[in-house]
Chain A
């Protein structure tokens, strides 16, 4: 089977940097995705890592270490609008269907 672990909640202040970790156990690992979901809204794709290393997209970066079965999402220059739930999702080869973690609720304080 598959399992993903991420913290249930993270809090930070505006302008700060926050890191949301994700560890996974799966067979046939292909890649790791991150999604953002505001309350009552649609999940929105943020990033995808298939290879080890850091991918940067504006204020958001995502990291993957395949040997450690570990990844993280890094959010810089936090803004109030970044308050949302963040999900890591494992993609396995063959199906390419994302399996989502339980999500991390990020609360940004002024």
Chain B
């Protein structure tokens, strides 16, 4: 039973570039959430996708966008990268809408130079 998988594991970009991160949810899960975790901080909620639509969004600018595909996998896109976007980006999957444990992937470490 595959857990949550994310790619790539590490990425280095420069300011102003764009990046796409990918996530495959745990088998049987239909909801995908994305989080940003800065060093020494807890994960901060970016947005959540369900049935291929953005269902909820945290306090992040429009430079952060996403997509969910019919197979429930998801992408996170960040445009016009800033130095402050350097962080660990975590994908979490769950089943349905009621509070369920979030199953996290190992994340993508994004470094902006």
The interface bits of chain A over 64-90 (1 if a CB of B lies within 8 angstroms of the residue's CB, else 0) are: 000000000000000000000001010
**Interface majority SS (helix, strand, loop, mixed), chain B:** loop
| Contact call A103/B98, Cβ cutoff below 8 A | no
Return A5 CB to nearest CB of chain B, in Å: 12
A33 at the interface (CB under 8 A from B): yes
Q: How large is the interface on B (under 10, 10 to 19, 20 to 34, 35 or more residues)?
A: 20 to 34
Of B42, B56, B98, B103, the residue contacting A87 (CB under 8 A) is: B42
| Contact call B42/A96, Cβ cutoff below 8 A | no
Residue in B closest to A96 when the chains form the complex, CB atoms: B99
Residue in B closest to A47 when the chains form the complex, CB atoms: B101
Q: How far is the CA of A102 from the CA of B42 in the complex (A)?
A: 5
| Contact call B106/A41, Cβ cutoff below 8 A | yes
Return B28 CB to nearest CB of chain A, in Å: 16
Residue in B closest to A91 when the chains form the complex, CB atoms: B99
B71 at the interface (CB under 8 A from A): no
| Contact call A100/B44, Cβ cutoff below 8 A | yes
Q: A30-B99, A43-B90 are in contact. Are A98 and B105 (CB under 8 A)?
A: no
Residue in B closest to A97 when the chains form the complex, CB atoms: B45
Find chain A residues with CB under 8 A from B58 CB.
97
Residue in B closest to A100 when the chains form the complex, CB atoms: B42
Q: How far is the CA of A103 from the CA of B33 in the complex (A)?
A: 20
B87 at the interface (CB under 8 A from A): no
Q: How far is the CA of A96 from the CA of B99 in the complex (A)?
A: 5
Q: Which of B42, B99, B102, B104 has the most CB of A within 10 A?
A: B42
- Please give the residue numbers on chain B whose beta carbons come within 8 Å of chain A beta carbons, in ascending order: 4, 33, 40-45, 48, 56, 58, 90, 92, 97-99, 101-107
- Please give the residue numbers on chain A whose beta carbons come within 8 Å of chain B beta carbons, in ascending order: 30-31, 33, 35, 40-45, 48, 50, 87, 89, 91, 95-103
**A-B complex: 8 closest residue pairs judged by Cβ atoms:** A100-B42, A45-B101, A42-B104, A96-B99, A43-B104, A42-B106, A87-B42, A100-B43
